[in-house]
């Protein structure tokens, strides 16, 4: 096994020295070798399979209730659906049209909580919804619906919704088509970094005592006397097989749920999860500039879609179509890209967006409950409510839900685990305990401190938004080695110090872990982060024990990985 803590070729402050400077900062996770040993030598109360936002949230909740928890993820945290979303924490205004009021209420309350528990990662975002002559949702109906949206949030959103006339909409959104514009509304939701929100839940689980491991795949379940009592797993980085013993097992693998069900020999019946493909594209901000988000009814087919500001880029999404593609291979197709471009051009006629403007395109599969589809089989009208199933051997599986409600899903699942184990009910303080980095008195004060210390607004803003109150831990690395203050990619605020910090503090083991999920480099560069990968590899190699040959293999693996994730298929799967 390659050591995680091998000496760097350049000096980097130790975690001990950082702790002296900032005593409130936690220690880094235990070395991987120690966590692997604990995985095979401990009898756990709960084994969670799947490191998406739901699985990571379950591990955190259960650990905070005092359970002995192991979390294993085949690839990396948020490597599936949890890193391929619209990056929104929202009440789900479009769900009102389908009558899913309970979900909107629950989502709105969770948005309110997350704005307070992770203020660095979950931030208010203003939306404008323009209304045109002949629209499926007329202006009066939209205004009434948004007042209901405010009410379902118990009027605790950032601000209440407000009707706008046509001139006000045009003033707020320059370049928007004015032909037929009747007005619109402004309302508020929240934006997030989906992959980092997922990761900090896994990190919080680790800090609460869970044994958390990425790049560990489940090969089979251990069934004794008709009950699942563990699993055989393989460390993908070394090929080492291990047996994990656990009193309860949770399948939180999202679109992969039915694959884990197949490992349970007694499990029969049809699929419990039915995938819906969602595609997003990113274009340079200057090609489609907007300071607010837009909710639109696509002129192509009338479905709700978004145009979202994202730093130096603008995101357009999403599609919602049934797919037969395997979750590991789902990608955008040319028809998906053309649909999103045509939809955006329909509202911004002078933009003339084309395929050449697309910096990146990505797709994810929403793991909707199979029974939640309407009789028409339309993915857009399918409920996002979650459901918990128990197999004959006692494996608990959760499906459905959405990013915004992950904490509620986690709570409900751990309640079910307690019931299955005959344990007295305990309540985890996840509704009130800040997530890592979120224990800051004021986001604005933290940003001001970072700007004063770092000296560059874009880098300071990125560090605080990514790490919250822990940004100093990253920036301290540049004191001992100024080279680490250099960017990983020109024009972007990501630093070489983050490659080092990713390995020592954020369970980064591959270039994709860093550049696709801990950071958004792959999403925001036309070469999908390939040039940045070589720079990052030079800083990661001493820590991970990579030889020059290992570095070349890692670079080749990264290139294949981003092609798998961001490549555009000529036809739909």
Q: CATH number of the domain at 443-566, please?
A: 1.10.8.870
Q: State whether residue 223 is helix, strand or coil.
A: strand
Q: How far apart are CA 94 and CA 284, in angstroms?
A: 27
- Assess whether pLDDT exceeds 50 at residue 144: yes
Q: What is the arithmetic mean of pLDDT over 255-265?
A: 88
Rounded to the nearest 5°, which phi and psi values hold at 520?
Answer: -110, 30
Q: How far apart are CA 33 and CA 37, in angstroms?
A: 6
- Assess whether pLDDT exceeds 50 at residue 14: no
Q: Report how far apart, in Å, the C-alpha atoms of 218 and of each of 49, 72, 231, 262, 290 are.
A: 8, 8, 7, 12, 44
Count Cα neighbours of 59 within 13 Å in the Cβ-side half-sphere. 35
| Higher pLDDT, residue 19 or 532 | 532
Residue in this structure with the two tokens 């471009």, named with its chain if needed: 341
pLDDT value at residue 384: 61
Q: What is the pLDDT of residues 420-447, one digit of tens each?
A: 999 999 999 999 999 999 999 999 999 9
Q: Report H helices in 161-315.
A: 166-172, 194-207, 257-262
Q: What is the arithmetic mean of pLDDT over 359-368?
A: 90
Q: How far apart are CA 375 and CA 378, in angstroms?
A: 8
* Beta pairing partners, 164: 184
pLDDT value at residue 571: 82
**Which CATH homologous superfamily contains domain 32-81+196-265+391-421?**
FAD/NAD(P)-binding domain (3.50.50.60)
Q: What is the pLDDT of residues 460-470, one digit of tens each?
A: 999 999 999 99
Which two tokens mark 28? 């880094």
pLDDT value at residue 94: 85
pLDDT value at residue 98: 81
Q: What is the arithmetic mean of pLDDT over 556-561?
A: 98
Residue 519 and residue 535 in contact, taking contact as beta carbons nearer than 8 Å? no
Of 491, 504, 492, 490, the residue nearest 539 (C-alpha): 504
Q: What is the pLDDT of residues 392-408, one digit of tens each?
A: 999 999 988 899 999 99
- Assess whether pLDDT exceeds 90 at residue 151: yes
- Give the burial string for 19-28 (b: 16+ CB within 10 Å, else e): beeeeebeeb
Of 113, 71, 111, the residue nearest 204 (C-alpha): 71
- Residues in CB range of 230: below 8 A, 6 or more apart: 47, 221, 222, 243, 244, 245, 246, 249
What is the Rg, in whole angstroms, of the alpha carbon atoms belonging to the chain? 23
Q: CATH number of the domain at 111-192+274-372, please?
A: 3.30.9.10
Give the CA dihedral 441, 444, 447, 453, nearest 10 degrees.
-80
Residue 476 and residue 482 in contact, taking contact as beta carbons nearer than 8 Å? no
* Beta pairing partners, 241: 234
- Residues in CB range of 379: below 8 A, 6 or more apart: 276, 320, 321, 322, 366, 368, 373
- Assess whether pLDDT exceeds 90 at residue 216: yes
Q: Report how far apart, in Å, the C-alpha atoms of 566 and of each of 107, 124, 255, 404, 536 are.
A: 29, 28, 18, 24, 20
pLDDT value at residue 109: 96
- Give the burial string for 377-386 (b: 16+ CB within 10 Å, else e): eebbbbbbbb
- Assess whether pLDDT exceeds 50 at residue 195: yes
Residue in this structure with the two tokens 């036309």, named with its chain if needed: 526
Locate the domains of the chain by residue range. 32-81+196-265+391-421, 111-192+274-372, 443-566
pTM of the model as a whole: 0.92
Q: What is the arithmetic mean of pLDDT over 71-91?
A: 96
The rounded percent of the chain whose pLDDT value lies above 90 is 83
| Higher pLDDT, residue 206 or 324 | 206
Q: What is the pLDDT of residues 264-320, one digit of tens each?
A: 866 555 566 667 899 999 999 999 999 999 999 999 999 999 999 998 999 999 988
pLDDT value at residue 149: 95
pLDDT band at 373 (very low <50, low <70, confident <90, very high): very low
Q: Which of 169-178, 183-192, 330-339, 361-370 is least confident?
A: 361-370
Residue 254 and residue 50 in contact, taking contact as beta carbons nearer than 8 Å? yes
* Beta pairing partners, 275: 367
Mean pLDDT, the chain, rounded, equals: 91
pLDDT value at residue 272: 63
pLDDT value at residue 378: 53
């Amino acid at each position: 096994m390659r050591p995680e803590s091998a000496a760097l070729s350049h000096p980097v402050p130790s975690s001990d020295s950082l702790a002296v400077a900032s005593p409130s900062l936690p220690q880094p996770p235990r070395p991987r070798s120690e966590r692997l040993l604990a995985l095979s030598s401990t009898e756990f109360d709960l084994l969670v399979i799947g490191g998406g936002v739901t699985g990571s949230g379950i591990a955190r909740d259960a650990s905070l209730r005092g359970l002995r928890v192991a979390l294993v993820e085949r690839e990396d945290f948020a490597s599936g659906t949890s890193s391929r979303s619209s990056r929104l924490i929202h009440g789900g205004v479009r769900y009102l049209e389908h009558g899913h009021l309970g979900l909107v209420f629950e989502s709105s309350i969770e948005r309110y909580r997350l704005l307070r528990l992770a203020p660095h990662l979950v931030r208010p975002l203003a939306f404008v919804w323009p209304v045109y002559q002949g629209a499926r949702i007329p202006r009066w109906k939209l205004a009434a619906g948004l007042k209901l949206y405010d009410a379902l949030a118990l009027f605790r959103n950032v601000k209440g919704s407000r009707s706008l006339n046509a001139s006000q909409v045009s003033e707020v959104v320059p370049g928007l088509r004015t032909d037929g514009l009747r007005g619109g509304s402004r309302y508020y939701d929240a934006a997030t970094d989906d992959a980092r929100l997922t990761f900090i839940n896994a990190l919080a689980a680790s800090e609460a005592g869970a044994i958390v491991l990425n790049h560990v795949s489940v090969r089979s379940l251990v069934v004794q006397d008709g009950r699942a009592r563990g699993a055989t797993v393989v460390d993908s980085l070394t090929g080492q097989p291990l047996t994990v013993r656990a009193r309860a097992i949770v399948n939180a693998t999202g679109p992969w749920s039915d694959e884990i069900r197949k490992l349970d020999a007694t499990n029969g019946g049809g699929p419990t999860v039915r995938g819906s493909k969602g595609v997003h594209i990113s274009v340079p901000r200057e090609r489609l500039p907007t300071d607010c988000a837009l909710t639109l009814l696509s002129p192509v087919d009338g479905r709700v879609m978004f145009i979202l500001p994202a730093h130096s880029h603008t995101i357009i999404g999403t599609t919602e179509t049934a797919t037969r593609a395997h979750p590991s291979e789902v990608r955008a197709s040319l028809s998906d890209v053309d649909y999103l471009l045509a939809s955006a051009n329909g509202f911004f006629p002078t933009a003339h967006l084309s395929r050449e403007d697309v910096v990146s395109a990505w797709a994810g599969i929403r793991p909707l409950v199979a029974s939640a589809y309407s009789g028409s089989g339309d993915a857009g009208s399918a409920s996002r409510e979650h459901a918990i199933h128990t197999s004959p051997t006692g494996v608990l599986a959760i499906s459905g839900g959405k990013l915004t409600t992950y904490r509620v899903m986690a709570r409900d699942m751990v309640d079910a685990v307690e019931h299955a184990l005959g344990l007295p009910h305990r309540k985890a303080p996840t509704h009130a305990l800040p997530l890592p980095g979120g224990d800051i008195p004021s986001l604005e004060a933290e940003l001001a401190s970072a700007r004063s210390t770092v000296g560059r607004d874009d880098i300071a803003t990125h560090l605080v938004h990514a790490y919250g109150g822990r940004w100093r831990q990253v920036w301290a690395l540049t004191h001992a080695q100024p080279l680490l203050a250099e960017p990983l990619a020109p024009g972007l605020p990501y630093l070489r110090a983050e490659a080092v910090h990713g390995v020592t503090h954020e369970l980064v083991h591959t270039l994709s872990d860093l550049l696709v999920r801990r950071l958004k480099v792959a999403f925001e560069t036309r070469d999908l982060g390939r040039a940045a990968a070589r720079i990052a590899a030079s800083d990661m190699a001493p820590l991970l024990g990579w030889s020059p040959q290992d570095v070349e293999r890692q670079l080749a693996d990264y290139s294949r990985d981003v092609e798998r994730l961001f490549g555009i298929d000529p036809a739909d799967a």
